[in-house]
């Protein structure tokens, strides 16, 4: 495995290593929701996921039309 330091140099490599370590610890700290979600709240979160998927599909479609010469 290639060490980060050998690619980015000693100083930047150590900053990147610290950052990835920090992100990992944030993910561990907030791995699970810390409040009890009601049925309504769970439904709202499901709606949000579907809404985001819809927007991503829409953005993807727009990108596709631009690439293929549309507006």
Partner 1 sequence: MDLLSKFYFNYSRIIKTIKIYLLLAGPGLIVMIADNDAGGITTYAATGAKFGYNLIWFLVLLGPVAYFVQEMTVRLGAVTKHGHAEAIFSAFGSFWGWFSLLDLSIVNWLTMVTEFIGMTAALSIFRVPPVITVIIVVFVMLGIVMSGRYWTWEKITMAFCVVNLIYIPAAFLIHPSVSDIFRAGIIPNFPGGLNGELFFFLMANIGTTIAPWMIFFQQSAVVDKQMKEKDIPWGKVDTAVGSFFTVVVAVFVLIVTGTLLFGQNISDAGAAIVAIMPINSYVGVLFAIGLFDAGFLGAICIALTSSWAFGEVFGWAHSLNYKVKEAFWFYIFYFFGLITAGAVVLIPGAPLVLITLFVQVIAVTLLPAALVFLIILLNNEEIMGKYKNTLFDNITNISIVMCIILISTLYGISTLFPNLFG
Q: Is 46 a binder of partner 1 (CB under 8 A)?
A: no
Comparing CA positions, the residue from 36, 5, 33 lying closest to residue 18 is: 5
Distance, first Cα to last Cα, the chain: 45
Q: How far is the CB of 41 from partner 1 (least distance, A)?
A: 5
Q: Which helix (DSSP H) or strand (DSSP E) does residue 20 occupy?
A: helix 10-29
Q: Is 55 a binder of partner 1 (CB under 8 A)?
A: yes
Q: Is 36 a binder of partner 1 (CB under 8 A)?
A: yes
Which residue bears the tokens 């769970």?
Answer: 42
Q: How far is the CB of 32 from partner 1 (least distance, A)?
A: 6
Q: Is 64 a binder of partner 1 (CB under 8 A)?
A: no
């Amino acid at each position: 495995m290639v060490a980060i330091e050998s690619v980015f140099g000693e100083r930047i490599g150590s900053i990147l290593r610290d950052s990835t370590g920090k992100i990992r610890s944030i993910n561990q700290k907030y791995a699970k929701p810390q409040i009890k979600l009601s049925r309504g709240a769970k439904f709202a979160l499901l709606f949000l996921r579907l809404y985001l998927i819809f927007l991503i599909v829409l953005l993807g479609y727009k990108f596709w039309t631009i690439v293929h010469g549309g507006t």
